[in-house]
Amino acid sequence: MSMHAPLATSDRTGFLAGYMESLSLVERLHRLLLDVIKDEFERLGILDINAVQALLLFNIGENEVTAGELKTRGYYQGSNVSYNLKKLVEMGYMHHQRCEIDRRSVRVRLTERGRLIRDTVRELFERHAEGLLRQSVLETDGIDRVNHSLKRIERYWSDQIRYIY
């Protein structure tokens, strides 16, 4: 059977069910990730920053970016990017500066305080990676397969958006 041959109705139904389960898992995993970060911060007594903001700081890392780049680079998934940037600047986690070339654009980077949050999240993720390996939840080849599949879905979705017009 060709890769592009139509699937039988039962195969399509089964694939659709699996696809819907995958979508649900991705959504639940993202929410759980935010809960894990929130719990870690509560455990450490870091209460002035939320999990979305902490993940944003982690994703920015050592980069200096504009607000627009946050979404295009995949650093930020939410809709309140301007609000969260403003709050992070007000709380001293980020520096902001008008771009010399385009004065309408603002570039942001982490302060020392922001780098401490980034490091806290990185350490949490490192502990999780070690635990996943130690408890045989995933092996290296397993995580590689998961990432490969997710990247293929990402490319497919991107193509769907790109070619809609």
The CATH code of the domain that includes 42 is: 1.10.10.10
Q: How many structural domains are present in the chain? A: 1
In a domain? residue 128:
yes
In a domain? residue 150:
no
pLDDT above 90 (res 136): yes
- C-alpha Rg value of the chain to the nearest Å: 20
How many C-alpha atoms does 3 have within 13 Å on its Cβ side? 0
Tens of pLDDT, residues 26-78: 999 999 999 999 999 999 999 999 999 999 999 999 999 887 788 777 777 76
> Alpha-carbon distance 54 to 37, whole Å?
8
- For tokens 């050592």, the residue is 62
pTM: 0.85
Structural domain boundaries, residue 54: 11-134
Tens of pLDDT, residues 91-105: 999 998 877 777 677
Torsion sign over Cα 37, 60, 52, 160? negative
In a domain? residue 164:
no
- Comparison of pLDDT for 11 and 125, the residue scoring more: 125
- Comparison of pLDDT for 79 and 137, the residue scoring more: 137
Beta bridge partners of 65: 108
In a domain? residue 26:
yes
How many C-alpha atoms does 127 have within 13 Å on its Cβ side? 9
The first and second tokens of residue 100, run together, are 């010399």
